[in-house]
Amino acid sequence: MSAAFWSIGLRITSITQRVVREALWTERSLVKTFGPRGTVHLLAAQDLPMWTSALSALPPSHNGQTKEVRLTSEQTDEVVNAIATALCDAELTIDELSAAVIAATGPWAGELVVPAFNGMWPRWRMALATAGTRGALCFGPNRGPKVTYTNPQRFLPGLRPADGSTALTWLIKCYLYAYGPATPQQFAQWLNAPRRWATELFDSLSGELQQVEVNGSLAWVVAGDTTVPSIMPQSVLLLPYFDAYTVGSHPRELLFPGRAAKRALTPSGQAGNFPVLLIDGIVAGVWHQRRSGRWIDITVEPFDQLTAAQRRDLDDQVERIGAFLEGNPRLTIGTVTAGGHA
């Protein structure tokens, strides 16, 4: 959660983590829920109708589970409806929600058949992320150390998914504005969706998209979005775990050149498992932070010698982290020994 907060904080001048927390839990302009790839995201609440409709329109995925474990479409609908009802005026822990869902649907929902981190989960848990992508569930504030869930209708009354086709068009355009030029295959990877489906979807929108050439290969942008700045901006940034920039950007070999690929990607090429030092948009190091009271110890491991200007910019970034986290930062240039996020 601290990484998600800093992803927002580094993009907005002068705010603190307290401001992001208030946006999430008090103002409700942010919502913590299941987003692309079924992973937890912080999304703009005003965009939730589009997100839920677009994600619900993706081809179904079995997530590698066997037929004996999977929920049928009818069972999935039943569980999602039970979740929405249980959370309509409550914030429940996973155990409380489990009891409510099983009571509403039947013993089959409680069968311990889903392999989990420390044993087996009940069958209904396979529909937890689906409930999020359909707008029936989102996260509530933690109750002590325990996560809670609630229904977004509580703070977004009248929430209704948009038309599926309209939402998918919106999602592609948002993706290309952020990450383009990009290919349908890269879009499919970002969504964890079938490549053929993504290619067909891009083809269906060819009138609203535009092909451009990048390093000898064809990719897509939103029609007309071809302006390139005459002077490339220079920056030094410390991106947290699973920042949207590193997770969504391709080709990987341009973003993670040389040593960066070995040090900051998983063996399978997954990005986001390491916080990275970004210089002029390219991964140029890794970093780690550890907090003790008011002190925030930040270790940065650049892959190459920093210039004097880059070191000044890095100092400024470290001070910005301290201000955002409302602590006293201390910078060390050295080897990062912490492993990647599981």
pLDDT in the model for residue 169: 97
How is the beta sheet containing 236-239 ordered, strand by strand?
A: 236-239, 276-279, 282-292, 295-302, 328-333
Compute and round to an integer the Cα radius of gyration of the chain.
22
- Residues 140-161 have a mean pLDDT of 93
- Say if residue 61's pLDDT is above 80: no
Residues comprising the chain, all counted: 342
Does the predicted TM-score (pTM) go above 0.85?
Answer: yes
Instruction: Convert the pLDDT of each residue in 228-273 to its tens digit.
Output: 888 888 899 999 999 999 999 999 999 999 999 999 999 988 999 9
Helices (H), 57-93: 73-86
Round the average pLDDT of the chain to a whole number and report it: 94
Q: Choose the weakest-confidence range: 33-47, 152-166, 255-269, 275-289.
A: 152-166
Beta strands 217-222 and 30-34 are: unpaired
Tokens coding 234: 């220079």
Domain coordinates of the chain in residue numbers?
Answer: 2-154, 164-222, 236-333
What architecture does CATH give domain 164-222? Orthogonal Bundle (1.10)
Considering only residues 208 and 342, tell me which one the structure prediction assigns the higher pLDDT. 208
pLDDT digits (tens, 9 = 90+) for 309-323: 999 999 999 999 999
Tokens 């002068």 sit at which residue? Answer: 14
239 within 8 A of 287, measured Cβ to Cβ: no
The 10s digit of each residue's pLDDT in 2-49 is 999 999 999 998 899 999 999 999 999 999 999 999 999 999 999 999
What pLDDT is stored for residue 233 in this prediction?
80
CA–CA separation, 165 and 207 (whole Å): 15
Provide the token pair at 286.
């890794």
The pLDDT value given to residue 43: 97
Residues 6+ apart with CB under 8 A from 276: 238, 239, 243, 246, 260, 264, 283, 284, 285, 286, 287
Q: Is the pLDDT of residue 130 over 90?
A: yes
Q: Judging by beta carbons within 10 Å of its beta carbon (0-12, 13-18, 19+), is residue 181 exposed, middle or buried?
A: buried
Q: Is the distance from CB of 249 to CB of 186 less than 8 angstroms?
A: no
CA angle 302, 242, 290 (to 5 degrees): 60
Q: Which amino acid is at 304?
A: D
